[in-house]
């Protein structure tokens, strides 16, 4: 444990990334608190209950800090009559924000008191008072209430504006702009000044009466402009005509020798060749640099967004997308950033490709799930409060837990417990949402396993719909203890009953249960025992094969109504494309093979549920033949194994993502 913490700290201290170096302080805190922390426990900090939101680092390690620390004086204010009245007003107008679930506690207290549930209010107060000197239990005020319209957005207006405001100007673009707007006119003046001195092809032969005075004014103008404009280096480069003429002017043209005068004449001659087109060229250059810079465009977009609520999304982006006042279109890269705050239905965001992965989908889902859960309360103010607590709770990072312990559930928060009895179940709404979510996730990312955060939202929706679905997480921490929690065994048993006699069972040579000791079954199938990461990975993969990592459960309990044959073909396309992307190192190659095996497993599941798989094999076979000969040779064992299974024979070569030696699907070493 200590070695891991030290390695993480050292890696961040040595990182060239400033953000990573700043986060090294969190690992330093963990190192300092390590001796007093009980890592692997639901309560790693001895004097704090499990419901406290802790600072948690990569790997599930708690640093010992509570994220809601501080605020004792404000806690006292909100327990006064004036403070309670302020809370009642916040409840009524919804103008508050909860960044942490603890910040909703006093609002719950105010609602209980206002609605006459004094005994429940007293019990909650008794529970929280011992921590009122350490944790803040009050909300963050905001100008407008959170929208409750069953729509979602990837980022808030404030988050998008922060990213737009962080865009810095391109120094090369600014230097080019300076060269054209400042130095080009000055250079043209310098050339004209020297051109006056030419007689019979020789420079510095004649000088007007006021020439020296104008020369001096030019030099003063140059020095002033150089003091203000230093991005462009052209005026200082000795090989450039600008710098050469400038230095010769400063040296005094009347006293120059023949070589210097000849050089001036040569520069003027070359300049005269461009003279007929110079005005047109300068106008063209000016028009080019007058286009607003990326930074100026970003500032314009940020200013436009400032008219919208900071903590919300934007339902209509058309006013934001409009060209500048001068008619210049907004660059596509900046529009892409702005579109992250589009407030729309989940289906619209998925179908438009604005949600690139299941992880991103999972991140925004609490916005939708919280509103559905809010509908379970008759009092709109209480429903809105519950939704805010729910969203804040979903931002908690999971702890590393051992001995089959479970993560803290929302219902364990004392202030949520206090209002659970006021819930009115609306099962059908939750089920429809779960069906819609499942369909969206499978259609958008058929090749990817469901990430834990997405499973967590599905589990919440299933609970609201009164469905007892045995969801399984991707990384079962119990594997470190050499066992799986009971619901994994149930998931495996139900999945294989659901898939009885299918292509899936044939391909993976699965014999029907019992799966009571799932860890032993997985170890036997993998041919390894728990131990090193590769061995644990093989065992976990066998667990995912047997449970189908939630696919069977969703098809059995939710019936998402998807085109399984089309999903299978999409998986196959993704696999062919992904395996042929050149990877930088062996670790990336291993990840590609592992993720490809996951997609292969998803594909076989979809094929097992397809009404007609013949079309898939015809299309997939044609797609494979269109790939490079080298890839076809490398992929042949996987394809032949699938064909054998389709004929009812267990394949000689099964594609697993984990292996002890070099994987047979890796490209040959160069």
283 and 183 part of one domain: yes
189 and 49 part of one domain: no
Is 640 in a helix, a strand, or coil? helix
Q: Is residue 44 part of a domain?
A: yes
pLDDT at 291: 83
The continuous run of DSSP H or E covering 65 comes out as strand 61-66
Sign of CA dihedral 617, 622, 625, 631: negative
Closest CA to 67 of 109, 98, 34, 28: 98
pLDDT at 60: 86
The continuous run of DSSP H or E covering 54 comes out as strand 54-57
In the numeric block, which tokens belong to residue 338?
């702005």
pLDDT at 476: 54
305 and 224 part of one domain: no
How long, in residues, is the chain? 670
Q: How far, CA to CA in Å, does 83 sit from each of 254, 357, 414, 450?
A: 85, 43, 21, 44
Asked, as a colleague might, if the bond just before 514 is cis with ω within 30 of 0, I would say yes
267 and 176 part of one domain: yes
Q: Is residue 525 part of a domain?
A: yes
190 and 276 part of one domain: yes
613 and 629 part of one domain: yes
247 and 262 part of one domain: yes
Closest CA to 299 of 185, 163, 492, 110: 163
pLDDT at 259: 92
Q: Are 42 and 403 in contact (CB under 8 A)?
A: no
Q: Are 567 and 443 in contact (CB under 8 A)?
A: yes
pTM score of the predicted model: 0.78
Q: Which residue numbers in the chain have pLDDT < 50? A: none
pLDDT at 403: 80
Q: Are 154 and 354 in contact (CB under 8 A)?
A: yes
Domain interval for residue 600? 564-646
Q: Are 471 and 455 in contact (CB under 8 A)?
A: yes
Q: How far, CA to CA in Å, does 471 sit from each of 29, 396, 448, 489, 541?
A: 35, 20, 16, 11, 16
483 and 547 part of one domain: yes
Kindly report, residue by residue over 630-661, the tens digit of the pLDDT.
Answer: 999 999 999 999 999 999 999 999 999 998 78
pLDDT at 81: 95
Q: How far, CA to CA in Å, does 617 sit from each of 126, 319, 493, 607, 622?
A: 66, 48, 29, 10, 8
324 and 239 part of one domain: no
180 and 165 part of one domain: no
């Amino acid at each position: 444990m200590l070695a891991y913490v030290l390695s993480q700290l050292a890696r961040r201290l040595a990182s060239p990334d400033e953000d990573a170096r700043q986060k090294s302080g969190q690992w330093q805190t963990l190192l300092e608190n390590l001796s007093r922390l009980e890592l692997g426990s639901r309560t790693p900090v001895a004097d704090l209950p499990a419901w406290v939101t802790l600072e948690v680092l990569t790997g599930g390690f708690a640093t010992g800090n509570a994220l809601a620390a501080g605020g004792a004086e404000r806690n006292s204010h909100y327990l006064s009559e004036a403070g309670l009245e302020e809370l009642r007003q916040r409840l009524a107008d919804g103008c508050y924000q909860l960044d942490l679930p603890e910040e909703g506690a006093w609002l719950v207290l105010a609602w209980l008191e206002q609605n006459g549930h004094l005994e429940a209010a007293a019990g909650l107060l008794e529970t929280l008072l011992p921590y009122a000197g350490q944790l803040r239990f009050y909300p963050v005020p905001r100008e407008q209430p959170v929208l409750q319209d069953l729509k979602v957005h990837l980022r808030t207006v404030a988050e998008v504006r922060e990213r737009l405001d962080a865009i810095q100007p391109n120094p090369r673009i600014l230097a080019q702009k300076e060269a054209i707007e400042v130095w080009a006119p000055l250079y043209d003046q310098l050339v004209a000044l020297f051109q006056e001195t030419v007689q019979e092809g020789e420079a510095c032969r004649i000088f007007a009466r006021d020439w020296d005075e104008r020369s001096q004014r030019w030099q003063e103008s140059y020095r002033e402009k150089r003091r203000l404009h230093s991005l462009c280096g052209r005026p200082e480069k000795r090989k450039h005509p600008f710098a050469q003429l400038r230095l010769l002017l400063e040296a005094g043209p009347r006293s120059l020798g023949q070589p210097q005068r000849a050089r001036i004449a040569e520069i003027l001659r070359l300049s005269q060749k461009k003279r007929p087109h110079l005005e047109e060229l300068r106008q063209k250059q000016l028009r080019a640099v007058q286009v607003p810079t990326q930074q100026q465009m970003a500032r314009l977009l940020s200013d436009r967004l400032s008219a919208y609520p900071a903590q919300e999304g934007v339902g209509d982006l058309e006013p934001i997308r409009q060209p500048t006042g001068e008619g210049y279109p907004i660059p596509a890269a900046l529009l892409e950033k702005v579109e992250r705050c589009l407030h729309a239905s989940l289906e619209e965001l998925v179908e438009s490709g604005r949600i690139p992965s299941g992880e991103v989908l999972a991140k925004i889902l609490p916005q939708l799930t919280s509103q559905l859960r809010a509908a379970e309360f008759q009092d709109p103010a209480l429903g809105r409060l519950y939704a805010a607590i729910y969203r804040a709770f979903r931002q908690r990072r999971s702890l590393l837990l051992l001995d089959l312990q479970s993560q803290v559930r929302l219902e364990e928060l004392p202030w949520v417990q206090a209002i659970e009895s006021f819930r009115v179940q609306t099962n059908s709404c939750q089920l429809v949402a779960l069906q819609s979510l499942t369909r969206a996730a499978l259609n958008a990312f058929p090749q990817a396993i469901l990430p834990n955060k997405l499973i967590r939202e599905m589990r919440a929706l299933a609970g609201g719909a009164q469905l007892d679905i045995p969801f399984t997480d991707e990384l079962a921490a119990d594997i470190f203890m050499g066992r799986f929690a009971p619901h994994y065994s149930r998931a495996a048993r139900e999945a294989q009953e659901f898939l009885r006699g299918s292509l899936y069972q044939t391909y993976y040579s699965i014999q029907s249960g019992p799966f009571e000791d799932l860890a032993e079954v997985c170890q036997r199938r993998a041919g390894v025992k728990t131990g090193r990461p590769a061995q644990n990975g093989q065992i976990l993969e066998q667990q995912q094969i047997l449970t189908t990592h939630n696919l069977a459960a969703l098809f059995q309990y939710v019936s998402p109504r998807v085109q399984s044959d089309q999903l299978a073909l999409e998986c196959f396309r993704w696999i062919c494309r992904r395996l042929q992307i050149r990877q930088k190192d062996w670790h990336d190659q291993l990840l590609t093979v592992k993720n490809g095996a996951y997609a292969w497993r998803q594909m076989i599941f979809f094929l097992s549920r397809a009404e007609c798989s013949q079309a898939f094999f015809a299309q997939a076979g044609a797609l494979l033949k269109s790939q490079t000969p080298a890839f076809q040779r490398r992929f042949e064992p996987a394809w032949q194994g699938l064909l054998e299974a389709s004929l009812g024979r267990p394949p000689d070569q099964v594609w697993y993502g984990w292996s002890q030696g070099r994987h047979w699907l890796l490209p040959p070493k160069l």
